[in-house]
Structure 1
Amino acid sequence: MRTGLAPRIALGAVGVLVAAYGAWLLLSRQDAEQLRSAAVWLVAGVVLHDVVLAPVVVVLGLLVSRVVPPVARAPIAAGAIVLGSVTLLAVPVLGRFGERSDNPSLLDRDYTAGWLVLAAVVLVAVVVATLARARRRRQPPS
């Protein structure tokens, strides 16, 4: 099924408008030091992704594809995407960056325990999906 050009242009226009609004909010509500910090954070994110994360993911993918049976590759890839994405987003709370002794309501729980629970849930989901795929492959077509 092909999508016409008009919906794509409309979707692109909405994306540009939302990005422009976000840029306006950023520039109009922050002082120079905060803007500098945001720029450093954004550049560091790109550099870390391209120099560290992407090569590590490629190497791990190659290793996993050689060691893991084909039936388990898709569930492991899905689990790695979920856990990897959530872990990257959780780095600030897992590292307790921004914790302040004068405000105990900031970072008020054990985020590491929550991440471990998520990791266990993802692991169980990967195992269940792998077993279901293996079982489906063993059954003769009806």
Structure 2
Amino acid sequence: MRARGGLVVVGALLMAYGGWLLLSRQDPGQWLEVLVWLAAAIVAHDVVLSGLLIGVCLLGSRLLPSPWRAPATIALVVWGGLTVAAIPVLTRLGARADNPTLLDRPYVATWCVLSIIVALAVLAAGRVRARARADDPV
């Protein structure tokens, strides 16, 4: 319990520091833009992404056998976060013809390899859970 309390304190201090930086280094005219951006991010996450994730997980709970549900749900969260974080580089946002050193890595190939690793982890975990359930004498 002490560790959790300590993390709460550290998180609150970091948020206060971020708020102080925002208020001390931004023009007051930009504060409204920041609030709109934060509100849009909350709506996008809590309504769109979370709603979609919950819907897909509910569908998976109806279609997948019991041992495969948890690994598939975890993989969906990991793969979804990985994909959302990779959207800027996968779509090459910010690439410029006058600076070929920007976005010069094989981002699509890397995303594909990481997606395969997530899929293999689901397959391995699902097989282990299915085998453990089959061996359970209950």
Task: Identify the TM-score tier after normalising by the shorter chain.
Answer: 0.7 to 0.9
Measured after TM superposition, the shift of residue 48 of structure 1 is 1.6
Instruction: Find out whether 1:52 has 2:48 as its counterpart.
Output: yes
In structure 2, what residue type is equivalent to 1:18? L
RMSD in angstroms over aligned alpha carbons? Answer: 2.6
Matched with 1:91 is 87
In structure 2, what residue type is equivalent to 1:59? G
Cα deviations across residues 27-63 of structure 1 (Å, max 9, x unaligned)?
5555678767655543332222233222211211111
**Count of matched residue positions in the alignment of Structure 1 and Structure 2:** 137
Unpaired runs of 5+ residues, structure 2, are none
Length-normalised TM-score, structure 2: 0.80
Distance, in Å, in 2 between the alignment partners of 1:26 and 1:92 is 24
Change (3 A) 1:24 1:96: farther
Matched with 1:75 is 71
Length-normalised TM-score, structure 1: 0.78
Instruction: Find out whether 1:132 has 2:116 as its counterpart.
Output: no
Unpaired runs of 5+ residues, structure 1, are none
Distance, in Å, in 1 between the alignment partners of 2:12 and 2:116 is 39
Change (3 A) 1:25 1:105: farther
